[in-house]
């Protein structure tokens, strides 16, 4: 695991020493991603510099140092992530040909051997892992960037005149003297809708995220090249529609059990201490169960709790941990811990990001980081196996709504809005046990008001966008700003079920742009590597071969995952409403976070920045304070942007002294 950065100057205007100095400054902004090692490689004739910070996980020796050259000297790579099937690839790369002269046991060196044997794209198609890399081909004089299939590892790039600049985080790009850092106002509109800036956009002009499952090849001759996919979920779904899974339920459970065991086993390979996040839900409990089943010692598990029972998951997590026999650690979040984390969020996430569960995710990462260097996570199960409410109810919603006249829909929406979200919450709590378990939800009032907003929609794409949106009309809060288009998958992809359509869109958008960003930045902020076994592409491909009723059954998602988990944990310990890492944000904004929020929402400040409608913000802030309405998620979007603006005004930190002394031979050039 590393932080990588670099640039290509097609004008060749920098001497070698200047190339190295710039690359060193860029890499040093990423030292939290890699505290163990530092390296820079420069080719003055090409105008190229590569740099990295390393978090040593496999092969802790100097043989794993980056930037790394291939045995022949043709390729030079900086690489962030893990290639889990590297041992298999190492054996394959030497079969039927000249033996590769391996110097160590790192997966980075195996990547280079694969590039020499098969070429870059054929090799990437063989990789099972999470990765973002930049590799310089000295023979072709080309720079290729690559990213894993689901976007676990980040990679930004920017074209600024004659310079192509890239890095794991935007702070590395900001450290380059040619990077302008001009805020893209249209990206603010995207942020307000999605609570993040979705790929390929970024918050800055002329700056993009490399999409998941894509390669970008740059040279002086083709400086304006665009990313090209090497793997497509769309194609996986099409292929499985022609050759679906033909076996029975027991056979499907057995096959998925084997795949998940193998995926977990591969991700338990580490030369440093390893553990797992445990919420007590289906996904994380399954991952931990399979870890413990394949471990000779007690797995270290970590959970976050809250003194507000509505958001507390620590009790359930500790019950699962006791049953499995893990070495469990938990932390209860208070408003004091939340306030201590919040000032650091803009620096950690480096781009406007407003998923409130970022707070407990940072806290649980800090807890785990005190004991381990690698932690497995249960992310991905919802997207592949229908875990969100919109998946379970999507088909029923469309089937019941489509025949209804629009006038009837509007009447129903008005009825749902008769009670404020808080009043619905009180009603659900009062009814308590009278409500069937499958209908019990966290924040039912918010979800019912969300339902009211979609009653008039008939197109599935529009329905998904409405369900996944915070600000439904961004022109009201950003006057005169148009919202750019976001690619929501292949429009020509057809689905028999609304649920599958939404799972597909979630995998392409919400998963990489929100869930995986939250995990990567939180874990990397404390030099902790997060691994996600459910995002093994073999698991995804198998999941999409299954009929929908093996994923969603009786309005309950993840049916097949549950059958696997029940082999290790009694049903009663895990069959409960979905929780997740949540916080009582509405209460905190009215209480301990009020002063902090009001300073960011100051009318003079909003006028001076000139982005938002200060009158509308003033209105919803006072409605929230009075309890007339719950605007916590909308307000959190604004607050996180305002806090990010404060961080954006800061200059990138200067490089720490003595970076070369860290490794002795860190700086190299040709």
DSSP one-letter string for 602-638: -HHHHHHH--S-HHHHHHHHHHHHHTSS--HHHHHHH
The one catalytic residue among 2, 196, 371, 431: 2
Tokens 């000297």 sit on residue: 73
List C-alpha distances in Å: 384 to 428, 501, 535, 539, 579. Answer: 29, 11, 9, 8, 18
Asked if 130 and 106 touch (Cβ cutoff 8 Å), the reply is no
Closest by Cα among 393, 514, 368 to 464:
393
Dihedral, CA atoms, 251, 254, 259, 264, nearest 10 degrees? 160
133 contacts: CB under 8 Å, gap ≥ 6: 4, 77, 78, 79, 80, 81, 111, 145, 146
The Cα–Cα gap between 177 and 1 comes to 26
CA distances, 463 to each of 70, 466, 499, 514 (Å): 49, 5, 11, 19
Task: Give me the residue label for tokens 């918050």.
Answer: 203
Q: Is 607 exposed, middle or buried (0-12, 13-18, 19+ CB in 10 A)?
A: exposed
| Beta carbons within 8 Å of 248's beta carbon, 6+ residues apart | none
Residue 2 annotated to the active site: yes
Give the tokens for residue 219. Answer: 């040279």
**CA 138 to CA 431: how far, in whole Å?**
69
What residues pair up with 39 in beta bridges, in sequence order? 52
Q: Which residues pair with 69 in a beta bridge?
A: 76
Helix (H, G, I), strand (E, B) or coil at 366: helix
Question: Cα separations (Å) of 531 from 267, 270, 496?
Answer: 7, 11, 33
Pairing relationship of beta strands 667-669 and 37-43 according to DSSP bridges:
parallel
- Within 8 A by CB and 6+ apart from 171, the residues are 29, 30, 350, 652
Q: How many CB atoms lie within 10 A of CB 74?
A: 16
Q: How far is CA 305 from its chain centroid?
A: 22
* Residue among 193, 555, 194 at smallest CA distance from 389: 555
List the alpha helices (DSSP H) in 96-184. 107-118, 120-126, 170-174
d(Cα 570, Cα 550) in Å, to the nearest integer? 20
Sign of CA dihedral 596, 599, 600, 601: positive
CB-hemisphere CA count at 13 Å for 209?
24
Phi and psi (nearest 5°) for 667? -95, 125
Q: Output the CA angle 169-138-658, nearest 5 degrees.
A: 50
CA 150 from centre of chain: 9
Could you give the residue numbers annotated as active site? 2
């Amino acid at each position: 695991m590393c932080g990588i950065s670099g640039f290509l100057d097609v004008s060749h205007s920098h001497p070698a020493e200047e190339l190295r100095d710039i690359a060193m400054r860029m890499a040093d902004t990423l030292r939290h991603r890699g505290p163990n090692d530092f390296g820079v490689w420069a080719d003055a004739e090409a105008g190229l510099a590569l740099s990295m910070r390393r978090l040593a996980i496999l092969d802790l020796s100097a043989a794993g140092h980056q930037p790394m050259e291939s045995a022949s000297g043709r390729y030079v790579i900086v690489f962030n992530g893990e290639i889990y099937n590297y041992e298999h690839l190492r054996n394959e790369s030497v079969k039927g040909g000249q033996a590769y002269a391996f110097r160590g046991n790192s997966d980075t060196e195996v990547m280079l051997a694969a590039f020499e044997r098969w070429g870059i794209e054929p090799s990437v198609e063989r990789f099972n892992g999470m990765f973002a890399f930049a590799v310089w081909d000295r023979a072709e004089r080309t720079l290729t960037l690559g990213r894993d299939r689901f976007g676990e590892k980040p990679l930004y790039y920017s074209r600024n005149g004659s310079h192509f600049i890239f890095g794991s985080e935007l702070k590395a790009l900001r450290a380059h003297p040619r990077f302008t850092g001009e805020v893209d106002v249209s990206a603010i509109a995207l942020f307000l809708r999605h609570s993040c800036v979705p790929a390929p956009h970024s918050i800055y002009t002329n700056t993009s995220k490399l999409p998941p499952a894509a390669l970008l090849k740059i040279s002086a001759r083709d400086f304006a090249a665009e990313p090209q996919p090497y793997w497509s979920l769309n194609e996986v779904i099409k292929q499985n529609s022609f050759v679906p899974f033909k076996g029975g339920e027991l056979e499907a459970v057995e096959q998925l059990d084997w795949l998940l065991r193998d995926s977990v086993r591969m991700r338990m390979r580490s030369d440093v201490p390893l553990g797992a996040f445990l919420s007590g839900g289906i996904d994380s409990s399954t991952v931990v169960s399979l870890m413990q089943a394949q471990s000779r010692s007690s797995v270290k598990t970590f959970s976050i709790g809250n003194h507000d029972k509505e958001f507390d998951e620590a009790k359930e997590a500790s019950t699962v941990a006791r049953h499995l026999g893990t070495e469990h650690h938990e932390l209860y979040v208070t408003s004091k811990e939340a306030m201590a984390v919040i000032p650091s969020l803009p620096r950690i996430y480096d781009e406007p990001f407003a998923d409130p569960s970022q707070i407990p995710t940072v806290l649980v990462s800090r807890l785990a980081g005190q004991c381990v260097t690698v932690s497995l996570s249960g992310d991905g199960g919802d997207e592949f196996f229908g875990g969100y409410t919109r998946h379970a109810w999507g088909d029923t919603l469309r089937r019941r709504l489509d025949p209804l006249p629009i006038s009837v829909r509007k009447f129903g929406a008005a009825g749902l809005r008769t009670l404020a979200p808080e009043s619905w919450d009180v009603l659900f709590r009062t009814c308590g046990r009278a409500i069937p378990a499958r209908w019990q939800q966290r924040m039912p009032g918010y979800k019912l008001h969300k339902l009211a907003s979609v009653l008039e929609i008939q197109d599935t794409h529009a329905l998904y966008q409405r369900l996944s949106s915070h600000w439904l009309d961004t022109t009201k809060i950003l006057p005169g700003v148009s919202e750019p288009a976001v690619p929501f998958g292949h429009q020509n992809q057809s689905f028999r079920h609304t649920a599958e359509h939404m799972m597909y869109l979630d995998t392409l958008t919400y998963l990489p742009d929100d869930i995986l960003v939250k995990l990567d930045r939180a874990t990397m902020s404390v030099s902790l590597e997060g691994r996600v076994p459910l995002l093994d592409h073999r698991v995804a491909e198998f999941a999409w071969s299954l009929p929908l009723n093996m994923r969603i059954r009786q309005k309950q998602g993840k049916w097949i995952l549950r059958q696997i988990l029940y082999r290790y944990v009694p049903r009663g310990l895990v069959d409960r409403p979905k929780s997740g890492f949540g916080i009582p944000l509405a209460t905190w904004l009215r209480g301990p976070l009020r002063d902090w929020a009001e300073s960011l929402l100051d009318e003079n400040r909003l006028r001076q920045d000139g982005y938002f409608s200060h009158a509308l913000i003033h209105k919803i802030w006072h409605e929230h304070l009075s309890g007339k309405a719950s605007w916590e998620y909308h307000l959190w979007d604004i607050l996180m942007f305002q806090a990010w603006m404060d961080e954006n005004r800061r200059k990138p930190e200067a490089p720490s002294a003595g970076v070369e002394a860290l490794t002795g031979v860190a700086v190299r050039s040709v």
